[in-house]
Amino acid sequence: MIAVLPGDGIGPEVAREATQVLDLLGLPWEEHVFGAAAIRATGAPLPDETLEACRLAEAVLKAPVGDPEFDAAEIRPEQGMLRLRSELAVFANLRPAKDGEIDVLIVRELIGGLYYGARGVRDDGTVFDTCEYHPSQVERVARRAFELARDRRGHLTSVDKANVLDTSRLWRRVVNELAADYPGVEVEHMLVDNAAMQLHSHPTRFDVIVTENMFGDILSDLAAAVTGGLGLAPSASLGERPPGLFEPVHGSAPDIAGRGIANPTAMLLSTALMLEHGLGRPEDARRLREAVALGLEEAPTPDLGGTATTAGLGAAVRSHLT
Ligand code: NAD
Ligand code: IPM
Ligand code: MN
């Protein structure tokens, strides 16, 4: 069973296109409430039943969450998402960005760093978030990145801020220690500010990028921007064992929600990543990617300069799957 989390904003709109593809492929799925919708229904963004269903699922296919109504609230949709990632222990977040000659794979550490470190308020009113990494957290994600680089073009860029941060110096040391185990992979280290500039100006110089949680969040939106935009950017979050979590890089896009014009491509390509990495169906994944490419030529959505609706592009994709 595939657990589908339709999420908020454009989430349900793009999730509908993905579940129609699952139906076409004869794959069973079940929807569970999550995010702002779940806060409204149950008071919690990740209800126990949803978490349990995700744990038992073969894979989790998640649409974006987030709602301006809760931006300043005590209980927020995004908290459910951070908890889900950590409960499923999906430490390696693969964010591929491809367009023409550009073929970058960002491997973002997903369940450590600033997002999960100690936080609080001091007596004087100072608010703090801390960036923390244990060497084992760096090692497991770096190993995954080395393995992926070995199976691609053999080049790994480790991105950090080692000129300032102790966690970055730890990151660099662990990556250097692992390099001996992967003689076929050439490693370079790059500071994150320069990495942002290079991703913009020379994106073809990158193969695999491995980096900590917050840097990976920011660089992956940038990588999406240089390869056609957020509407096209999928991701796969993997741990040591299933279920993996598959979701677009983009958010719930409140500015266009409810208008039926969201680009479902990121969600459909996340579905392809799920077929490949989560369900062991590489042939279905290949067919879906091909159908998406053909669909995009015929029916591009407004973010790509076209006029197709979400449903229109979804239907074009499905027409190439049958
Ligand atoms: P966003 O990614 O939702 O939107 C950024 C811009 O990209 C907007 O102009 C939006 O219209 C456009 N866009 C994004 N996806 C698109 C698509 N599929 N088709 C066409 N246009 C698209 O980022 P934001 O506005 O900063 O965040 C909105 C909410 O989403 C926030 O609550 C945030 O926390 C949440 N969020 C959730 C996830 C997730 O669930 N994985 C990821 C990012 C942001
Ligand atoms: C993403 C999103 C999330 C993140 C937010 C919504 C918590 O921006 O998946 O890229 O920062 O991980
Ligand atoms: Mn992000």
Q: Cα(251) to centroid of ligand 1, in Å?
A: 3
Question: What number of other Cβ atoms are within 10 A of residue 79's Cβ?
Answer: 18
Question: What number of other Cβ atoms are within 10 A of residue 173's Cβ?
Answer: 13
pLDDT tens, 120-139? Answer: 999 999 999 999 999 999 99
Q: Are 214 and 195 in contact (CB under 8 A)?
A: no
Q: Are 105 and 147 in contact (CB under 8 A)?
A: no
First-last CA distance in the chain: 22
Helices (H), 88-165: 135-150
Return the structure tokens found at 213: 């949680």
Enter the DSSP assignment of 225.
Answer: H
Residue with CA at minimum distance from ligand 1 atom 37: 251
The ligand minimizing its distance to the Cα of 218 is: 3
pLDDT attached to residue 12: 98
Mean pLDDT of 73-99: 97
Tell me the three state secondary structure of residue 230. helix
Residues with CB under 6 A from ligand 2: 66, 78, 81, 217, 249, 251
Residues with CB under 6 A from ligand 1: 10, 64-66, 78, 81, 230-231, 247, 250-256, 262-263, 266, 303
Residue tagged 């244990």 (tokens): 134
pLDDT tens, 8-56? Answer: 999 999 999 999 999 999 999 999 999 999 999 999 999 999 999 999 9
Length of the chain (residues): 322
Mean pLDDT of 267-294: 98
The CA distance from 240 to 220, in Å, is 23
Give percent above pLDDT 90 in the chain: 100
For the cut 90, the answer to whether the pLDDT of residue 243 exceeds it is yes
Enter the DSSP assignment of 1.
Answer: -
Mean pLDDT of 255-281: 98
For the cut 90, the answer to whether the pLDDT of residue 71 exceeds it is yes
Atom from ligand 2 closest to the CA of residue 93: 9
pLDDT attached to residue 268: 98
Q: Cα(230) to centroid of ligand 3, in Å?
A: 10
Atom from ligand 1 closest to the CA of residue 221: 2
pLDDT attached to residue 108: 98
The CA distance from 200 to 202, in Å, is 6
pLDDT attached to residue 265: 98
Return the structure tokens found at 23: 């139906």
pLDDT attached to residue 266: 98
For the cut 90, the answer to whether the pLDDT of residue 258 exceeds it is yes
Q: Cα(199) to centroid of ligand 3, in Å?
A: 16
- Under the banding of pLDDT at 50, 70 and 90, the label for residue 172 is very high
Mean pLDDT estimate for the chain: 98
Mean pLDDT of 57-64: 98
Contacts of 143 (CB under 8 A, 6+ apart): 178, 181
The CA distance from 87 to 297, in Å, is 39
Q: Cα(235) to centroid of ligand 2, in Å?
A: 11
10 closest CA partner among 290, 303, 226: 303
- Under the banding of pLDDT at 50, 70 and 90, the label for residue 322 is confident
Question: What number of other Cβ atoms are within 10 A of residue 74's Cβ?
Answer: 6
Q: Could you give the residue numbers annotated as active site?
A: 115, 161, 193, 217, 221
Residue with CA at minimum distance from ligand 1 atom 32: 66
Residue with CA at minimum distance from ligand 2 atom 6: 78
pLDDT tens, 179-227? Answer: 999 999 999 999 999 999 999 999 999 999 999 999 999 999 999 999 9
Neighbour-count burial of 240, counting CB atoms closer than 10 A to its CB (0-12 exposed, 13-18 middle, 19+ buried): exposed
Residue 292 backbone zone (phi > 0: left; psi -120 to 50: alpha; other: beta): alpha
Q: In what order do the strands lie in the sheet with 155-160?
A: 29-31, 2-5, 59-62, 244-248, 234-238, 92-99, 102-109, 208-211, 155-160, 186-191
Mean pLDDT of 289-299: 98
pTM: 0.97
The CA distance from 250 to 201, in Å, is 22
